[in-house]
Amino acid sequence: MKTRQLGTSGLEVSALGLGCMGMSFGYGPAKDKNEMIQVIRAAVEQGITFFDTAEVYGPFTNEELLGEALAPFKGQVTIATKFGFKIDPQLMKHVGIDSRPENIKKVAEASLTRLKVDALDLFYQHRVDPNVPIEEVAGAVKDLIQEGKVKHFGLSEAGANTIRKAHSIQKVSALQSEYSLWTRQHEKEIIPTIEELGIGLVAYSPLGKGFLTGAINEKASFGADDIRNVLPRFTPEAIQANQALIDLLQAVAKDKNATPAQIALAWVLAQKPWIVPIPGTTKINRLMENNGAVSIELSSDELTAIEKASSQIKIIGNRYTDAMEQSTGL
């Protein structure tokens, strides 16, 4: 497995990470814990050193899963987790956002315990809190870094001005935001900003929540607790309309003796050397397939052809509902 530097922070991780949310949250019932431990440890065996979780995934159970699964590899892997949601302990779900400094520090202590680590490798603000100045958020994480409880500060789905303000208080090592061949809104302002500041991009949902694998068509149905049931891009009409993008990936994949998922990941990897995609999976065979993308080289001519073809495809449906854009923990 190749490695990459997340910006200029000195944080080196595997070129692909593993998004672990779906093991516990978001895509139907939590998966079998022992099976997920096997998947996580198989990822380590295949060279993955970068794992993504959050307190809100479960809540709490995803961090506990990683803590147990990665305990034998202490010091050999990088675990990213997140703060910033208000969690109701009775309902066991998030009921709002909360990035008050006292909550950030409380979450950090709890995450250290659940992850069984001495310091949090990368600690993201999960979503910007409009009620707490970002300077206070960055200051709270700076305190945790000075105390040795956090190594690197990150933001998720933050705007350019927020990133700059936070970075002026405490260096931001990584921005985690959705990025793929069908979610490219960050290319206009966000990616140039973080490139200027030396911040890496951790690309979540690089396979479009499964759509870019080519395995989802307009007849697809999802489980009762699957987030895709309410996402505008996963209505039968949107799936059918967006199939043109899958056709493009399949055509490139055929020429490269690869799969659509591998081409989708190779495209993200080819955009910048400091971008690290974190596809999620609960299956070892899909893990192996995804990891194969690292060895696929897309030439400049191939990238130009993909750009030209994809620019002619109008993506139907927003990635989230309007309400979820403000409050989602995904």
Tens of pLDDT, residues 256-294 = 999 999 999 999 999 999 999 999 999 999 999 999 999
Residue that is written with structure tokens 């899909």 in the block: 286
Positions annotated as catalytic residues are: 57
Cα 17–Cα 215–Cα 240 angle in degrees, nearest 5: 120
**CA nearest neighbour of 108 among 131, 140, 134:** 140
Inform me whether the pLDDT recorded for 327 exceeds 90.
Answer: no
Q: What does the pLDDT average to over 217-244?
A: 94
> Can you tell me whether residue 322 is helix, strand or coil?
helix
C-alpha distance from residue 153 to each of 106, 108, 173, 199 (Å): 16, 12, 6, 10
pLDDT tens profile 134-151: 999 999 999 999 999 999
- According to the model, what pLDDT value does residue 324 have? 81
- Check if the beta carbon of residue 327 is closer than 8 Å to that of residue 129: no
pLDDT tens profile 35-46: 999 999 999 999
CATH superfamily membership of 3-213+261-296? NADP-dependent oxidoreductase domain (3.20.20.100)
The average confidence (pLDDT) of the chain is 96
- Other CB atoms within 10 Å distance of the CB of residue 169: 18
Query: Cα separation of 164 and 190, whole Å?
Result: 10
Q: What does the pLDDT average to over 304-319?
A: 96
Inform me whether the pLDDT recorded for 34 exceeds 50.
Answer: yes
CB within 8 Å of 294: residues ≥ 6 apart:
1, 2, 15, 16, 269
Q: How far is CA 158 from the centre of its chain?
A: 13
- According to the model, what pLDDT value does residue 326 have? 65
Q: What are phi and psi of 159, to 5 degrees?
A: -85, 170
Q: What does the pLDDT average to over 124-132?
A: 97
- pLDDT > 70: percent of the chain: 98
Q: What does the pLDDT average to over 176-198?
A: 97
Residue that is written with structure tokens 């990213």 in the block: 80
Taking phi over 0 as left and psi of -120 to 50 as alpha, with beta for the rest, 317 belongs to left
DSSP type of residue 316: P
Q: What does the pLDDT average to over 10-14?
A: 98
In which band, very low, low, confident or very high, does the pLDDT at 329 lie, cut at 50, 70 and 90? very low
Inform me whether the pLDDT recorded for 87 exceeds 60.
Answer: yes
Cα 222–Cα 223–Cα 229 angle in degrees, nearest 5: 50
Complete DSSP assignment for 29-73: SPPPHHHHHHHHHHHHHTT--EEE--TTTTTTHHHHHHHHHHGGG
- Check if the beta carbon of residue 173 is closer than 8 Å to that of residue 138: no
Residue that is written with structure tokens 């891009």 in the block: 233
> Can you tell me whether residue 154 is helix, strand or coil?
strand
Q: pTM, whole model, 2 decimals?
A: 0.97
Inform me whether the pLDDT recorded for 330 exceeds 90.
Answer: no
Beta-bridge mates of residue 203: 177, 277
- According to the model, what pLDDT value does residue 323 have? 83
**CA nearest neighbour of 125 among 164, 90, 157:** 157
Domain ranges of the chain: 3-213+261-296
Q: What does the pLDDT average to over 81-92?
A: 92
- Check if the beta carbon of residue 186 is closer than 8 Å to that of residue 198: no
Query: Token pair of 15, please?
Result: 């070129």
Complete DSSP assignment for 102-164: HHHHHHHHHHHHHHT-SSEEEEEESS--TTS-HHHHHHHHHHHHHTTSEEEEEEES--HHHHH
Checking DSSP bridges between strand 200-204 and strand 172-178, what pairing results, if any?
A: parallel
